[in-house]
Structure 1
Amino acid sequence: MASFNVLFFVLISILNFSSITTKAEDTHFLYQVCSKYRFTAINTTYQNNLRTLLSSLSSKATHNTEFYNNTVTGKTPADTVYGLYMCRGDIPSDLCGECVGNASQRLSTNTECSLSVAAVMWYDECMVRYSNTSFFSRVTVAPGYPGYALSSPTNMTDQQSFNRLLYRTLNQTADEAANAPIGAKKFATKEAAISIFQNLYCLAQCTPDLSPEDCRSCLDGLINSNLPECCAGKQGGRILYPNCNIRFEIYPFYRSLQPAPSPAPSSNSRDKRSRSRTIILIVVPIAVVALLFTLCCYMLRRRQKKNSKTILRENFGGEGAILEGLQFDFSIIEASTNNFSHQNMIGKGGFGEVYKGTLPDGRHVAIKRLSTSSKQGVVEFKNEILLIAKLQHRNLVSFMGFCIEEQEKILLYEYVPNGNGGQQQKLSWDQRYKIIGGTALGILYLHEYSRLKVIHRDLKPSNILLDKNMNAKISDFGLARIVDIDQDRGETNRIVEYAMLGQFSEKSDVFSFGVIILEIVTGQKNANSYTSNRVGESLLNYVWKQWRDGTPLSILDPKIKEDYNQVEVIKCIQIGLLCVQENPNSRPTMGTIVSYLNNHSLDLPSPQEPAFFLHGGFMDPKTVAQESSSSHQSGKSSTTFSINEMSINVNYRLVS
């Protein structure tokens, strides 16, 4: 019976993962260019042919085809229409089909384009183009089809060094994309190190109908002519033309292109000629039974999937569709943790418990199980799931999925155990500095580069996850708030607006980041910062006094001893104090902070008194209302990154 249950569980799990529909995000319109030459009459032959063409493009895109061109021939050359689409090389087939369908619909109905004889439309995920003249296999450089450029508003600090790296990496990416033969996917990505905690990510793509020479020529024009005018020295940028496009960022914006692992070779290497009739008579009935059993499991899984969709619809409404690929069945989670056994528990807080487990496919997970009395309410739980699902930069957090079933509320994070028996690992200064820099980049992404502008509101060491290479990732978005952003940031008012409880701003995250820096440098927690009425108990007060007295290095964690960079330590202390200044308007932005960390030659301003160093020893009540809500949730973290005494229990580390 036990063996039967195991087999049943494995088959159910296989069907579960194979039948999940992946739809993690929507398509994002970028730009369109429509010809000024228009139809003179409604329902002309050309317009009818155009509708036929766009319908054929949309239909083809649903058949796992990343590039397709077609011609609808009219009775006269003037009635013939040519068109194609191309999806970004890392986009999954379902999202490609959705993008082409949306673009075709927009070209048919948009008042600016619907009567144009030629047009090109770009989405983040695809490009659709048509014209009354043939353009296949030719690079279009005519003024009627200008490109589109979009750059980051933030400059890199050391622009000269960054530009050298940028042009070198983009040219290498362009070479790789162009080397593909005609008809093959001409798409490539590359990564290069800017500094010890910052990387450059590049993408280049051409339409597959171009020859390698024409593709490279098209990309060369973008890199060497267009990029210097719009994007050189910026922290990110993209240039789109009808035949080719490039993009670069300081965060990974594209999906992994690594192929799935090959199936393990069969363990049965016996010569077929040696098989006896008896074995055949045994194997065939077993195979038939297994097939029938699998069919039953499949039907059962279909019923469970319908129930799962119902749960998503009830909890998330119309946005539940984007979460289907992240939903886990409770039975799988329960089995992976040995029914939430005490031996599998690795953490406990105000939210509930954290358990380690292993999924049927072998992945290790840390499971955050919210108790019925959790301080994180149902609204915050749902908001956290929606927010992470909408974020493009998945390296921010090691989030895998969630489960909602009856009274159960569960979040899944990837968990990497190690073999040191849970021994604590001392952190060097270089590792601490890397964590500071990585955390700064994560917050900058949330504030400036995410498709949703996010204020985290609960930044603290226990919400900074570390992977095996000590790369920092931001976690726990239960208190995060999304603020509306401009149309040119790629979002509209259809963003889910989370309940705004109290005042918050980017500067509240900056304040929290400043506290994190000072805790990392000193190796001590700012335990009483939010609750004490005595100034003497505040870590910020202590650091400020040493800074004011000209002895900043005296606060450095003694465990670091002599192995540290004095310039970096003093700079981090100064940045931390700048972040926790009493006046929020005096605190730097995260973009400025990243610039400070990247460039040792920059002169930093002198910090003023921190918020907790007030005459009389009390915080301003408005600041308390703004900052304290995150501290009241401090007991709910599921991670084990402990700044206190600057040690980390690496056996419990959650990583992506």
Structure 2
Amino acid sequence: MVLLQSKENYKDVSLEDLLISTNNFDQANIIGCGGFGIVYRATLPDGRKLAIKRLSGDSGQMDREFRAEVEALSRAQHPNLVHLQGYCMFKNDKLLVYPYMENKKIDGPSSLDWDSRLRIAQGAARGLAYLHQACEPHILHRDIKSSNILLDKNFKAYLADFGLARLMLPYDTHVTTDLVGTLGYIPPEYGQAAVATYKGDVYSFGVVLLELLTGRRPMDMCKPKGSQDLISWVIQMKKENRESEVFDPFIYDKQNDKELLRALEIACLCLIEHPKLRPSTEQLVSWLDSIDTNT
């Protein structure tokens, strides 16, 4: 039995219900794939839609991913975090039940306008600040990336995928870690020392903010040499005083150039090589909220 924990008073949903609603986890219902699981769309008989993350296998790593996600999301409750509505284990399968997000995720270039992209950045920053500073115990996400920011039908942002998350005990400043995360988002210090910190999440958030501003991916081997790595390319363009050329043409115009340049400055502060010089998530929320697109 899968216990759905929700303010919306969902009734209990059985494992059989989930099998039927995904057509026995048919490939046609796949809406996302990650390093440790596949996400399926499930449509219940009454029309409600859910997203089911299926972790298959009996490896120790798979068990750790499952426990980490359940533990983190059972403790964390915030408007900008995806809500874990239920979970179960059946044979070698481990299932996590989430609400279905109409607009899925902000992965890759988009036709979203600047107002929408800024609201996404603001929402994601609030969710991350909650994890780092308000949730008890605090939580390191360790896999902040654009595909882990889900959007509902109103383009409200929700941080998702807590499989790599780690709980931080009081007075902890870091956790010992293997090199985990996604290429293009991994902070440089992770390769130099086996520790993960809050400032590592901030670095990854800075990469996401660059994606929102440029409409480009962190790594794109189809781009000309010298612009395949997004961070290096942006830094070089800044050195040449060509900042305005990095913005996605879909959102850039003279009316919002000040807001875009301010957001670019914030992104670059997140990407500072030395972790201690990066802003806190509390600062990020304040800075992003101060960008007013209506002025």
1:508 to 177, 190, 200: 200
1:8-62 residue CA offsets vs partner (Å, 9 max, x unmatched): xxxxxxxx79xx6x9x7xxxxxxxxxxxxxxxxxxxxxxxxxxxxxxxxxxxxxx
TM-aligned CA distance change 1:390 to 1:507, over 3 Å: same
**1:348: Cα distance to partner?**
3.5
- Cα 1:463–1:564, aligned 2, differ >3 Å: closer, same or farther? farther
2:131 is paired with a residue whose SS is helix
Local SS of the residue matching 2:94: strand
Question: Which of the numbers 257, 272, 275 marks the counterpart of 1:584?
Answer: 275
Q: Distance in 1 between matches of 2:67 and 2:118?
A: 34
Distance 1:402 1:440, change over 3 A: same
When Rg is computed on C-alpha atoms for both structures, the one with the higher figure is 1
**For the residues of structure 1 that align with 2:231 and 2:31, how far apart are their CA atoms?**
31
Number of residue pairs matched? 267
Q: 1:596 to 1:346 in 2, by over 3 A?
A: closer
Secondary structure at the counterpart of residue 559 of structure 1: coil
* Corresponding residue of 2:213: 521
**Residue in structure 2 matching 1:372, options 57, 64, 81:** 57
The TM-score, its normalising length taken from structure 1, stands at 0.37
Q: Paired residue for 1:556? A: 247
Task: Tell me which amino acid in the other structure corresponds to 1:482.
Answer: L
Deviation, structure 1 residue 451: 2.0
**1:133-152 superposed matches below 5 A:** none
Q: Which residue of 1 aligns with 2:113?
A: 428
> Secondary structure of 1:520's match?
helix
Q: In structure 1, give the amino acid aligned to 2:230.
A: L
d(CA) in 2 for partners of 1:330, 1:439: 32
Residue type of the partner of 1:355? Y
1:354 aligns with one of 21, 32, 39: 39
Calculate percent identity across the aligned residue pairs: 38
* Residues 603-655 of structure 1 deviation map (CA, whole Å, 9 limit, x = unaligned): xxxxxxxxxxxxxxxxxxxxxxxxxxxxxxxxxxxxxxxxxxxxxxxxxxxxx
Q: Which among 136, 153, 156 is matched to residue 468 of structure 1?
A: 153
Query: Offset at 1:393?
Result: 2.1
Letter in 2 for 1:447: H
Deviation at 1:559, TM superposition (A): 2.3
Structure 1 residues 506 and 425 mapped into 2: Cα distance closer, same or farther (>3 Å)? closer
2:261 equivalent to 1:538: no
Match of 1:407 among 79, 92, 111: 92
SS in structure 2 of the partner of residue 369 of structure 1: strand
Distance 2:35 2:235 in 1: 32
**Aligned residue for 2:17?**
332
Q: Is the 8 A contact 2:101 2:150 kept in 1?
A: no
Supply the AA of the counterpart residue of 1:481. Answer: R
Shift of residue 596 of structure 1?
A: 1.5
Q: Does 2:252 align with 1:567? A: no
Distance (Å, rounded) in 1 between the aligned partners of 2:119 and 2:286: 14
Conserved in 1, the CA contact under 8 Å of 2:227 and 2:233? Answer: yes
Q: Structure 1: how far apart are the matches of 2:120 and 2:255?
A: 15
Q: Structure 2-normalised TM-score?
A: 0.79
Q: Secondary structure at the match of 1:354?
A: strand
Match of 2:140 in 1: 455
Segments of 4+ moved more than 6 angstroms:
none
Deviations 1:483-518 (A, max 9, x none): 1126xxxxxx9xxxx985430111001100111111
Corresponding letter in the other structure for 1:511:
Y
Q: Distance in 1 between matches of 2:201 and 2:150?
A: 17
Segments of 5+ residues of structure 1 without an aligned counterpart are 1-15, 25-254, 261-324, 419-423, 487-492, 602-656
- Choose between structure 1 and 2 for higher RCO, CA contacts under 8 A separated by at least 6 residues: 2
Give the alignment partner of residue 343 of structure 1, picking from 25, 28, 42.
28
112, 123, 129: which is aligned to 1:444?
A: 129
Aligned CA-pair RMSD: 3.3
Residue identity in the other structure for 2:54: R
Q: Rate the CA distance shift 1:511–1:369 in 2: closer, same or farther, 3 A.
A: same
More helix by share: 1
Does the 8 Å CA contact 1:353/1:370 hold for their aligned counterparts? yes
Structure 2 distance, partners of 1:425, 1:458, is 21
Q: CA deviation at 1:352?
A: 3.9
Matches of 1:515 and 1:570, distance apart in 2 = 15
Q: Distance in 1 between matches of 2:218 and 2:11?
A: 36
**1:192-223 CA-partner distances (Å, limit 9, x unpaired):** xxxxxxxxxxxxxxxxxxxxxxxxxxxxxxxx
Taking structure 1 as reference, are residues 356 and 442 closer, same or farther at Cα in structure 2, changes over 3 Å only? same
The answer to whether the 8 Å contact 1:329/1:403 transfers is no
AA matched with 2:68:
N
Aligned pair 1:389/2:74, yes or no?
Answer: yes
AA matched with 2:263: C
Q: Determine helix, strand or coil for the equivalent of 2:245.
A: helix
Q: How does 1:32-51 map to 2 (within 5 A)?
A: none
Offset of residue 565 of structure 1: 1.3
Q: Deviations over 1:176-207 (max 9, x none)?
A: xxxxxxxxxxxxxxxxxxxxxxxxxxxxxxxx
Query: Structure 1 pair 473/359, CA: closer, same or farther in 2 (3 Å)?
Result: same
Alpha carbons of 1:594 and 1:577: their partners in 2 closer, same or farther (altered >3 Å)?
Answer: same
Structure 2: how far apart are the matches of 1:452 and 1:340?
Answer: 35
SS at match of 1:399: coil
Give the partner amino acid of 1:589.
S
C-alpha displacement of 1:447: 0.7
- Alpha-carbon distance in 2 for matches of 1:584, 1:541: 17
